[in-house]
Chain A
Amino acid sequence: MLLNSVILVLREVLEAAMVVSLFMAFTTVSQQARSFLLKAILLGLIAGGAYAYFLPEISNWLEGVGQEITNTIIHIGIYVFLMGFLWLISRDIVLPNRLVKGMMMAAIILAISRESAEIMLYISGFRSDHFLLQSVVSGSLIGLSIGVSCGIFLYHLMIALKPAAAAKFICVLVVIVGSSMMSQATQFLIQADWLASTEPVWDSSHIISEHSLPGQLLYALMAYEATPTWSQIIIYLTSLLLMLIVILSGRFSRAISHV
Chain B
Amino acid sequence: MMKYFFICMAILLIPIKSYAAPPVFEILIKDHLFYPDELVIPADTKVKLLIKNQDATPEEFESYELNREKVIPGNTQAIIFVGPLKPGTYPFFGEFFPKTAQGRIIVKESGK
Contacts and interface: CB of A to CB of B under 8 A. Distances in A.
A69 to B, nearest CB: 10
Given A121-B58, A189-B13, A197-B46, A67 B71 contact: yes
Contact of A56 (B16, B17, B73): B73
Size category of the A interface is 35 or more
A59 B61 CA distance: 14
Counting chain A CB atoms within 10 Å of each CB, which of B5, B70, B72, B86 scores highest? B70
Interface string A123-150: 0111010000000000000000000000
A4 interface: yes
Of all A-B residue pairs in the complex, the 9 with the closest CB atoms, nearest first, are: A125-B57, A210-B64, A193-B81, A64-B79, A56-B73, A196-B16, A121-B58, A125-B58, A56-B76
Contact of B57 (A126, A209, A211, A226): A126
Interface residues of B, number: 35
A238 interface: no
Main secondary structure of the interface of B (DSSP, over half): loop
Interface in B40-64: 46, 56-58, 60, 64
Contacts of A192: 81
B78 A64 contact: yes
Interface of A: 1, 4, 8, 55-56, 59-60, 63-65, 67-68, 76, 80, 118, 121-122, 124-126, 128, 187, 189-197, 199, 205, 209-211, 225-227
Given A59-B73, A121-B71, A191-B81, 6 more contacts: A80-B5, A193-B46, A194-B17, A195-B13, A199-B86, A205-B64
Contacts of B80: 191
A179 to B, nearest CB: 16
B38 interface: no
B99 interface: yes
Given A191-B68, A191-B70, A197-B46, A118 B60 contact: yes
A122 B58 contact: yes
18 contacts: A1-B99, A8-B95, A56-B76, A65-B79, A67-B70, A76-B5, A80-B2, A122-B60, A125-B57, A125-B74, A193-B17, A193-B18, A197-B83, A205-B64, A205-B65, A209-B64, A211-B64, A225-B67
